[in-house]
Amino acid sequence: MRAFFTTFYLTDIDVGPDGRVTDHLHPEWANLRIISGTLPVSEIRNAAPFGGTNAIVTGPTSTAVRFTTGTSRIWGIGLLPLGWAKYVAAPANAFADRLCDPATERDFAPHCRLVDPLFGPEPDEMAELARITQHFESLSARPVPEEARIRAVHQALVDKEVASVADMAEHAGLPTHTLERVCRRHFGFPPSLLLRRQRFMRSLSQYMLDPALTWIGAIDSHYHDQAQFVREFHRFMGMSPSAYAALPHPVLAGVMRARMAAAGAPVQALHDPSKD
């Protein structure tokens, strides 16, 4: 099943009975998160705050998600574009930059039976992981539409040398109009925005993983200049680089380091499915 997921990951947050912590999720692939404990409140640009549910579907995102939570255990299932195509009937662009409750979405009905039984009376990481694995194994017979095209497009996307839509189409072996359709349906966004997101996340990850770097030292080589990077930072994170650097990152800083060690990429957007 590795080709379909970034990771299954467990985040334990302990801030005491009344504590709260706030952080920002970076632009990423789709996720299903299932929560035990304090339920988070999440905010994505141009939408009302979302909370009060023990499961959250986040479609593929091109903007930050600000969240506040308390003491909790959160299992996350990161769906790669191939995983979305296999396990979700709806086109990815229908859920792009959206937060929703899977219990209210017909396209996620098959996954609701995982939510309530996931956590037992006591924390048991291995039993919980087994329930997640068994759930998706039970759906393994589902066909994957356009599998070869999705794989080819994803490999082109994670290639650092691919800098334009024309390059991406050539590497994927697809006409530009087909690339556009495949990207919107299975990746959530047009290829031009996906390439911009990759470039931005390469830069942000460099900065987050190496505290000694300045923004200048972290900027990806495909940026023309610092001004372009600053504009893109506002586009993807909703704030300036200096404003983001001044914020605490109590959850994501640790998650990125752990993910780098376990999966070889600090963020989901940079996950290379060919290395699984």
CA distances from 97 to 31, 92, 131, 148, 213 (A): 11, 10, 28, 26, 30
Q: Which of 55-69, 169-183, 250-264 has the lowest mean pLDDT?
A: 250-264
β-pair type (50-51, 41-44): antiparallel
| 159-169 mean pLDDT | 97
Pull the structure tokens for residue 217.
Answer: 């030292």
Tens digits of per-residue pLDDT, 185-243?
Answer: 999 999 999 999 999 999 999 999 987 888 889 999 999 999 999 999 999 999 999 99
Tens digits of per-residue pLDDT, 37-54?
Answer: 999 999 999 899 999 999
> Is 1 a residue whose pLDDT tops 90?
no
Pull the structure tokens for residue 23.
Answer: 């952080």
Percentage of the residues of the chain whose pLDDT score is greater than 90: 93
* pTM for this prediction: 0.96
When pLDDT is cut at 50, 70 and 90, the band that residue 275 belongs to is confident
When pLDDT is cut at 50, 70 and 90, the band that residue 276 belongs to is low
Q: What are the structural domains, with CATH classification, of the chain?
A: 2-137 (2.60.120), 147-275 (1.10.10.60)
